[in-house]
Structure 1
Amino acid sequence: MPTVVHQPIPIFIGYDPRERAATNVLIDSLYQHSSVPLAITPLVAPQLVNQGLFHRERDPKQSTAFSFTRFLVPYLMGYRGWALFMDCDMLCRSDIKALWDQRDDCYGAMCVQHEYVPGETMKFLGEAQSNYPKKNWSSLMLLNCSRCTNLTVDYVNTATGLQLHRFHWLEGDHDIGAIKGGWNHLVDVQRLPDQEEPTPMLHWTLGGPWFRKQRTMGGRLAAEWFSARDDAMKLWD
């Protein structure tokens, strides 16, 4: 029998106006592959500013408009239930329910625990590449919102970038669970698995084909992104 889903999966996407195309293609890829209803909310910084929820100065090391807004998700959820956050520079290739089903109440947050030390100093559009422990862990997070009450509006606006991205708002590393199954594959950073084991979520962390100067980023994966874009924009007679 099919799984009964009582509420749509709440998904929050980091939004940067320079990556509108990436956001739109990601949203379409999520819908196209999902077997259950989804409730998708892009985190648009000016909207959060207008609500009085976000007012911190832009950090020189901040490469996207959503570097810090992602940590408002538990507040936006009323610190209830689970929510999923993901960067906009991703492409979903499989049913997001398989990721959602990994939720484990033993943890306050879950993520793909990369061991990634950047070798480059710059990434897309000349943005600086920062290096810190748990790099990219916060780019895709399952958040157990009732366990994330330290992420108050004040804390999100005043904590350092490292405090936020290194999960200092949890009790400790034992409170961070691991998402399994290749759900945050770093394009042009990690080696792709064999075709027989397709990666369910691609992440162009260094910049993707929606940027004019990076149209071939990821090789055949760039072509796949353009194919997904074209499919989303298909005209019907």
Structure 2
Amino acid sequence: MDGAVQTVYPRKNWSSMVLYNCGHPKNKVITPEVVSTQTGAFLHRFQWLEDEEIGSIPFVWNFLEGHNRVGEGDAATFPKAIHYTRGGPWFEAWKHCEFADLWLKEKDECVKEAKK
């Protein structure tokens, strides 16, 4: 991507797709002030929660390009939301990454719609 060093930390890819249970008492700490003042580590690692308080979603809703795989002939494994973990097709070096065609098609449709 941009040459930045990647840091390994717990729960790293969990924060790439998040659904918050706003009714959970521990999530009440996530206020605009906390989001504006806490470290990225605090937020990306969900440090206000214990592991057992964090649910899961099917991997197809947080499909990590370059990591997850579509099973041959298995439509249930096709991504519904893609996280371009290594860099996406908006970067020259990644314009041919897996699922780039889907992203580029969406971009073209958005640009066309914006011009109307």
- TM-score, normalisation: structure 2: 0.76
Alignment of 1:12-27 (within 5 A): none
Alignment of 1:38-117 (within 5 A): none
Aligned partner of residue 28 in structure 2, secondary structure: coil
Match of 2:47 in 1: 168
Counterpart check, 1:150 vs 2:62: no
Aligned partner of residue 231 in structure 1, secondary structure: helix
- Aligned-residue RMSD, C-alpha: 2.4
Residues 25-80 of structure 1: CA deviation (Å, up to 9, x unaligned): xxxxxxxxxxxxxxxxxxxxxxxxxxxxxxxxxxxxxxxxxxxxxxxxxxxxxxxx
Cα distance change on mapping 1:164 and 1:233 into 2, 3 Å: closer
**How many Å apart are 1:161 and its aligned residue?**
2.9
> Could you tell me the percent identity over the aligned residues?
39
From the two aligned structures, give the one with the greater strand fraction: 1
Match of 1:134 in 2: 11
Match of 2:56 in 1: 178
Distance 1:231 1:132 in 2: 36
Match of 2:69 in 1: 191
Is the contact made by 1:184 and 1:203 (CA closer than 8 Å) also made in structure 2? yes
Distance 2:46 2:31 in 1: 14
**How many Å apart are 1:192 and its aligned residue?**
2.6
**Residue type of the alignment partner of 1:213:** A
Name stretches of at least 5 consecutive residues in structure 1 with no aligned partner. Answer: 1-123
Name stretches of at least 5 consecutive residues in structure 2 with no aligned partner. Answer: none
Is the contact made by 1:193 and 1:199 (CA closer than 8 Å) also made in structure 2? no
Distance 2:92 2:12 in 1: 26
From the two aligned structures, give the one with the greater helix fraction: 2
Aligned partner of residue 103 in structure 2, secondary structure: helix
